[in-house]
Chain A
Amino acid sequence: MIRWLLGLYPRDWRRRYGPEVAGLARQLLQEGDTTPLRTGLDLLGGAVLAWWAVALEWGALAVAGLVIAVGGGTAALLVVAEGTGIRAAGAPGAYLAAHPLGAGFVLTEMAWWAMEVTQVIRVRRAQHRLSAPETPALRSARRECWFVLGACCAAVTVVVNVIPSAAPAATIRPGGLVAAVGIGALLGGIVLRGWSFKALGTWYRSFTVTADPHQPVIDSGPYRLLRHPGNAGAALVAAGIGAASGNWIGLAVLITLPLALVLWLSSVEEAALIVALGERYRRYAACRKRLVPLIW
């Protein structure tokens, strides 16, 4: 009965805790501490809670996936509409009106923001706090991070919305192709960042710089290959938005500016992690590339 009930638990949970739970349940039964009925109900309740935890863990990605699917579907519909000449006119702003995939981009971008906000909320709701007080170096890095990130976001928003109409000579042709490549980069970046959130869980604190001496060194998911997959995903998202501008200047700015930010942020994070985790992080970092698999 115990083995059958443990079969109801999520596989990873069962692998990690199954033998211990089975051993303990048998011992409690042998010692007369509980009855088979109570054990059955308890294990059943445990299975429900274990699946609930899995559902919560995947919830953020599921939400993002849903919006991406809606965004992708809308983009596909717009492409079809463009082909058949029934595209709706008068979409607001250069960003939307510049190309047929505009609405799809905006929806996908919204999915990205939904995922980012969900992660921030998840981290805030997490029970554990940082075990060591923030060092002065980390505090100033965090403030710099907010300042640089804010400036970068403002700059790229202006560029994406203003440059296509201000510099029409730099329009990329064919527009449809570059928009498709852009939406691919955007989706790729979202998936990479979402995967990084899942691998690090509540240790992934976006839009800030933190390092805790007690945090584990994660080498699963995208961290198997890269030291900063979340940052690589952010650079990819920005490049995708740059392509969405349909303008060479917009694309160049959206590649270089976020890339500079990501390189700076990665080096600050790495320095903080080496100070906090020491040899554990050095060993991990020694055999992994920073942002691009097998290259750098």
Chain B
Amino acid sequence: MTNDAIRGSSDRSVLILTSLAEAPKHGYALIKDVEQFAGVKLGAGTLYGALAKLEAAGLVEALDADDRRRPYQITTAGREHLRERLTESARIAELGLRRIATGLA
């Protein structure tokens, strides 16, 4: 869990879950949202590689396709997983910042 947490917000699955925590989105909307809030440009292959893993783990689920595009939504287990990951990341970030500050002093 700690290793996972250290990867923190750069982890693609965290970015995708964070985006889906707002509302269900299809691939293009997901890429644009992640680019907007994290400055990370995901490609189609990268995005669906991560989505496939998340879907297999039961963290996201596909909704019915509209206009040939399939939206994805975060599941309850996905929200819980995201909460755990972000809480751990925040704890480590806070600790790191405190140590940097102490080191500078």
Chain A bound to chain B: yes
Using an 8 Å CB-CB cutoff, how does the interface string of B36-69 with A read, 1 for contact, 0 for none? Answer: 0000010111111101110011110000000011
Q: Are A39 and B43 in contact (CB under 8 A)?
A: yes
Q: Are A20 and B80 in contact (CB under 8 A)?
A: no
A-B contact pairs, 8 of them (CB 8 A): A13-B52, A34-B41, A46-B46, A126-B57, A127-B4, A127-B13, A128-B81, A129-B77
- By a CB distance below 8 angstroms, the chain A residues around B34 are none
Q: Determine the residue in chain A with the shortest Cβ distance to B1.
A: A127
**Binding site of B, secondary structure by majority: helix, strand, loop or mixed?**
helix
Q: Are A39 and B57 in contact (CB under 8 A)?
A: no
Q: Are B68 and A23 in contact (CB under 8 A)?
A: yes
Q: Are A27 and B28 in contact (CB under 8 A)?
A: yes
Q: Are B45 and A20 in contact (CB under 8 A)?
A: no
- By a CB distance below 8 angstroms, the chain B residues around A47 are 45
Q: Determine the residue in chain B with the shortest Cβ distance to A5.
A: B45
CB of A184 closer than 8 Å to a CB of B: no
- By a CB distance below 8 angstroms, the chain B residues around A11 are none
Q: Are A28 and B31 in contact (CB under 8 A)?
A: yes
Q: Are B77 and A131 in contact (CB under 8 A)?
A: yes
Q: Are B28 and A17 in contact (CB under 8 A)?
A: no
**Binding site of A, secondary structure by majority: helix, strand, loop or mixed?**
helix
Using an 8 Å CB-CB cutoff, how does the interface string of B65-93 with A read, 1 for contact, 0 for none? Answer: 00011100001110011001000000000
- By a CB distance below 8 angstroms, the chain A residues around B43 are 25, 28, 34, 38-39, 42-43, 45-46
Chain B interface size, as a band, is: 20 to 34
Q: Are B58 and A25 in contact (CB under 8 A)?
A: no
Residue of A17, A25, A130, A201 with most partner-chain B CB within 10 A: A17
CB of B24 closer than 8 Å to a CB of A: no
Residues of B within 8 A of A (CB): 4, 13, 27-28, 31, 41, 43-49, 51-53, 56-59, 68-70, 75-77, 80-81, 84
CB of A208 closer than 8 Å to a CB of B: no
Residue of B43, B44, B84 with most partner-chain A CB within 10 A: B44
Q: Determine the residue in chain A with the shortest Cβ distance to B75.
A: A214
Using an 8 Å CB-CB cutoff, how does the interface string of A120-154 with B read, 1 for contact, 0 for none? Answer: 00000011111100000000000000000000000
- By a CB distance below 8 angstroms, the chain A residues around B52 are 13, 16-17, 50, 53
Q: Are B76 and A214 in contact (CB under 8 A)?
A: yes
Complex CA gap A126/B7 in Å reads: 16
CB of A215 closer than 8 Å to a CB of B: yes
